Amino acid sequence: MMKRTIAILVAGMSVAAATNAQVCKDTSIQQTTDPDRFVVHGDGAVTDAETGLMWTTCSVGQSYSNGSCKGSASSMSWTQALQQAQIINGAGGIAGQSDWRLPNIKELVSLVEFQCHSPAINLSVFPDTPSGTYWSSTPDIRDGKQARSIYFVDGSDLTPDVSSGRYIRLVRDR
Q: What is the CATH number of the domain that holds 100?
A: 3.10.100
Query: What does the pLDDT look like over 6-47, one tens digit per residue?
Result: 444 444 444 444 455 899 887 778 888 888 999 999 999 999
User: How many structural domains comprise the chain?
Assistant: 1
Collect the ranges in the chain with pLDDT lower than 50. Answer: 2-18
User: What whole-number distance in Å separates Cα of residue 11 and Cα of residue 59?
Assistant: 22
pLDDT confidence of residue 111: 98
Q: How many residues make up the chain in this entry?
A: 174
Residue 114 domain boundaries: 22-173
pTM comes to 0.85
| Predicted pLDDT of residue 61 | 98
Separation of alpha carbons 62 and 97, rounded Å: 17
Q: Please give the pLDDT value at position 20.
A: 58
Among residues of the chain, what percentage have pLDDT more than 90? 79
Q: Phi and psi of 87, rounded to 5°?
A: -65, -45
Within a domain: 64:
yes
- CA angle 158-133-18, nearest 5°? 135
